[in-house]
Each structure stands twice: as structure tokens, then as C-alpha cells.
Structure 1
């Protein structure tokens, strides 16, 4: 296994719709293993293939809930159905979200409370997950990556302005910037 460089906002692969996976082969299995290792080292709770420069519709996720129950998997060619989002005022702490492609920054974002993921796994078997809370947030975040959308693209004022300022101040927003977990200090 190998750590992969994580692309930072501004890289074209992060802002382009990913292509469907057509073959589940040893090369794809190696990519998924490397993505798990990279996500764990970063550390993160999800990582989409475009974040490591691969424009394919797949992501990995890993989360341990408050009851120490691990939740880990891969979603290949996923579709995602979500519940309607609340219209209440954002809770800046409870709804704060981060992204390995916008390292070290966190901003509140309203997400749907529940989600249904339909995908396949590395064996070509169907995966169907009905989740809520943070698990739903993770799936929505990673699914957005497959459609060329970063969470900062969805922010409302004043958080969108703060995110734009943070990106400019960091020198991001241009092609070619990446970081490697364990080597670079971008992980914040």
C-alpha cells in the first residue's frame, strides 16, 4: 500500500464530474487500499477518488460512532437519496464540516439528516445503506466530490466569504497543489 497525495481546492479534478468505474480489477483494488491508508493517515472519515487525482465515481469512508461501533466501506458508482434538509438556523459547532481538500478549515453547512446510498463494493456486490446523522453527512460530502462539488461551494453567507478568504490566504484555488499525509503540514 502507498499514501496518495490529496489534491487541494482549485485542482481541476476536484471541480469535474467523475466518470463511472467500468472495471473492478486489481488496479482498482490497489487504489481503494491506498485510499483507505491515505484517509486513515490524514486523518479523515471519507476520501473520494477525485481527491487523489483519479476521476472515478468511488469513495471510501470510515467512522467510529459514540458507541465505538466502526463503520467502514467503499462505494463504487453510487447513487444517493437524501431527506429534505431542515430550514432552521445553522448550528456553527454541530454542523461544522471539514474537507481534506480544504485542509485545516471548518465551516458550518446544512446537510440532510438521513440518506440512502446504493452502490457496489469491490466484489461487485450491491451495497444499500440507510443512515442518519454524521454518517449521512459523510456520504453526502463524499458523493458531492464525485460531482465536482466541494463543501465550501455549498456554504452560505457569511461562511462562504470566510472560506473564500481562507483559500486565498493559503494560496489555494489554483491547479497543482496537493499534500501528503505524514509529510506536509497542510492537514491542519
Structure 2
């Protein structure tokens, strides 16, 4: 089932998410729905706060970047209660976007490498290292469960210049091909 994606301005996107356990209600169904929602919106990652749930869960599928970087052909993963243990390597800029902030893309600087601990969909503990675009996608989604958006990582002057567009998104004044929930959209009478 496709879930509505929460738009910029909703408080859930600024909240540090809570850990869950393996008994979280309908976890498998939620994960399946998040992948379906992400694919329908042509995304490469989706965090639970983006569908209105303040929990430490995100899904990624970086296979659309397979032509740009080796090793991403089947890069589809579920991250539950993740903790970034280390971010290293040279920082590099990449033009990022976000399903919760449609029609805005900005260069964001992130570390090239990371080590992360997390539980997979079977609640098996994993400790892995990622680099390049895989690391970037994970860092972007990890930010979501930490209450951060990619716009929090751009130059403050640039963010000020985007204020009007960001406010318009909060009010629903944006066209998207997927279902969204807008925090400041006026109810139609």
C-alpha cells in the first residue's frame, strides 16, 4: 500500500525518532509499504518520519545509481535502529533532493565513508562499512531519523533564499506524482 509522504514543515520531520523492537506492530507490512511508496515516488530512500512515524527505520535502494558506481546494482536494504559509528574520508558535494521537499535540489557536503550498526528486517544485528553513493544515501536517510533535513546542511543564506519555496511546499502549493500530506494546507470546505 502506498503511504502519503509527509511534506516539509510537519513537526515529525524535526523530531529525533525512537527505537523500536522486533514486536513493533505490523513491521513487515510497514517495510513493504515503505518500499512500495518509495518506488512509486521514484526515490532511492525513505525514512519512517517521512510517512509520519517517529521511529528509527529507513529503507534504501540505490540501484538507480548502479551505472554511476560499481556495487549498487542490487543495493536494497532495511535499517532499523541504526547508529552511525564513524564518518570518515574526504567530504564531497552532491546534488540531493528529498521526497518530503519536492522540486528543491541542493548541493550537500557529506563524508565519503561511514561505518554503521543496525538491525535488518529479520532483526539481525549488522555492522557494515559503506562508501560513495551508498554512504550518501544512508547518511541522508539517517538524518531523517535524527530530525534533520538536507536543507539543514546547506548554506544559511541559500536556505533563506529558498524560504518562499519551502513555505509553498508546506501549504501544498507543489505538484507531485505521489500522495503527500501537507502540514499547512487549508482544508477545502
TM range (shorter): 0.7 to 0.9
Give the TM-score normalised by the residue count of structure 2.
0.82
2:21 matched residue in structure 1: 22
Cα shift readout 1:42-61 (whole Å, capped 9, x = no counterpart): 01010000000011001000
Task: Judging by fraction of residues, say which structure has more strand.
Answer: 2
1:23-172 correspondence to structure 2 within 5 Å: 23-25=22-24, 27-64=26-63, 65-66=66-67, 67=70, 69-80=73-84, 81-83=86-88, 85-86=90-91, 95-168=94-167, 170-172=168-170
Q: Which moved more, 1:107-116 or 1:22-31?
A: 22-31
CA gap of 1:101–1:57, structure 2 versus 1, over 3 A, is same
Give the TM-score normalised by the residue count of structure 1.
0.83
Structure 1: segments with no counterpart, 5+ residues: none
Cα shift readout 1:20-51 (whole Å, capped 9, x = no counterpart): 01234560111110000000110101000000
CA gap of 1:30–1:14, structure 2 versus 1, over 3 A, is same
How big is the alpha-carbon RMSD for the aligned residues of Structure 1 and Structure 2?
A: 2.6
Structure 2: segments with no counterpart, 5+ residues: 183-189
CA gap of 1:57–1:180, structure 2 versus 1, over 3 A, is farther
Give the length in aligned residue pairs: 175
